[in-house]
Amino acid sequence: MTVAHASQQELPLAGVLVLDFSQFLAGPSCCLRLADLGAEVIKVERPQGGDLARGLQLADQAFGADSALFHTINRNKKSFTADLKSPGDLERVKALIARADVMVHNFRPGVMDRLGLDFDTVARLNPRLIYAAITGYGARGPWREKPGQDLLVQAMSGLAWLSGDAGQGPVPVGLSLADLMAGAQLCQGVLALLVRRGRTGRGGRVDVSLIESAIDMQFEQLTAFLNGDGRQPARDAVNNASVYLGAPYGIYRTADGYLALAMAPLGRLAELTGCKPLEAYTDPATWFKDRARIKALLAEHLAKQPTAHWLALLEPADIWCAPVLDWPRLVSHAGFAALELTQEIESPQHGLMRTTRCPLRVDGEVLKSPRGAPSLGADNEQILRRLEEGSPGSST
């Protein structure tokens, strides 16, 4: 059985009320995961335009008046519009905060202080509240006012120098990696503080920045650098996939596609593939020192046969390898189907849209939430009525 919106009350965070003041990807992705786990999430948006991601289209795809991107990262949420600079609206927002369990924002440092929604003020309104914030570069230091945008953070964190071959310039990862990792980190912090609150009754604050998340993702490579000679590690000249791992680690062209090879003993690889020149590299110390030459020899050899040929030889021998799938091949594969990784979300005004589901399983069940993102201010009337009635809990 698939867990869906109809069984929301059975999910772990049922009854938890989250106020999402964030925009674009990092904060909304945190709140999306909380919603997937059963929380009621209310997006607090500007009356004019709302979350800027409503207009941020990928591949020119819209879903009604808003971008498909906005719907996929804000599905299963509600929308409440408020001008935080209006005293009346601000009072209504504070009334919501007094009843909430969690609030999330990604404003630049100082913005919430000027609005009167800083942690100290909010904690006096609601001592049990979990206050969660994402910034680009933290609240202190010379970078604090820089725009917290994913590509800029990849550039500044050193991440862009890990991909690509030695002859290339910096290569960014082709997705919003820093945003999504920061959202995941913030979600972990929120869940941890909810557990602590369950023990102590006390709320708290959790902060994360895009730059810290991007640097933390590099802990493996950066630790080696910090304990090394202080020089930037060189990317491999051939099929680079790790600045610190030796051959054969990389992606290789075959006669009809590509093959990924992870760590493997070169002697065994030479035996299985029939690549005679590899037999000269029996000393593991050479696998890093001579990796460019080794990879070049292997690349020439693997290009002679199709991917399926090499997989048939290597996989039964437990060599860590895989075909390199593009999206059409990925989504048509039986392995993809078995994971039930997609779902349809629905908007009453705009119909159905296909997207991904929450990657978590709870009690063995996949989590799917079929409700699309809300229209701007769609839930104002219901939320205001609940405030008047003094109802703090989730009505979902």
- CA-nearest of 253, 255, 252, 254 to 264 is 252
Is 179 designated active site? yes
Is residue 195 within 8 A of residue 177, CB to CB? The reply is no
Residue tagged active-site, from 36, 179, 236, 379 = 179
Token digits of residue 223: 């630790």
Is residue 69 within 8 A of residue 75, CB to CB? The reply is no
Q: What's the length of the chain?
A: 396
Token digits of residue 106: 């990604």
- Crossing angle for the helix pair 177-200 and 26-36, nearest 10 degrees? 50
Strand partners, 321: 261
Is residue 331 within 8 A of residue 340, CB to CB? The reply is no
Cα–Cα distance list, 275 to 140, 215, 249, 321 (Å): 55, 39, 16, 16
> Which residues are catalytic, by number?
179
